[in-house]
Structure 1
Amino acid sequence: MDLPPLSFHASLEEKWDEEEEPDEIETLMKVFPSVYHQYLDDFSKVKAEKLPPHHTCDNHIKLEGLSPPVGAIYCLSNNESEKLQEYISKDVNKG
């Protein structure tokens, strides 16, 4: 069984992508106690707008012969429907 190599980071700043704004890192470090700094990646706005990388253990559920029902699940007002479409479009564009 081949396992992916482990990687370790020397410092918190090295874990952040080049796209990250240094101000965001500094702000998060001030807001969260130092014991939680190892989890700051989980609060990154830039990373929150990206899909995680694919792994060898990605799950795929095949439901043969089944398809989702056609039609609205909930009754929405025009305003609610517009907001929902904006939200969906924004997230679809993220990937």
Structure 2
Amino acid sequence: MNEVLNVKVDRMSRLENGSKLKAFCDLVFGDLFFVKGFRVVEGEKGLFIGMPQQKGSNGKWYNIFTPATKELAEYLKEVMLDAYKHNAE
């Protein structure tokens, strides 16, 4: 899938504050556009990726980016978690 999309991590900012939020991440899609604000979060079942969100006027948070397919979601998760793990070394 990377050959088609050419997704790269543009920035990975790790947080070392002991919270469940471990890092923020920005992705570049095919050198055409980038999406800021992905989150690496420690959950009960391990690390997962939180989508970029914006707070609505009602106080609730809404995703502003959602992968169109399950396969794309898994691929993006793999790209970001791989970068997160390599960033720790």
Q: Which range, TM-score by smaller chain?
A: under 0.3
Higher relative contact order (CA 8 A, sep 6+): 1
Larger radius of gyration: 1
Which one has a larger percent strand, Structure 1 or Structure 2? Answer: 2
Give the structure-1-normalised TM-score: 0.22
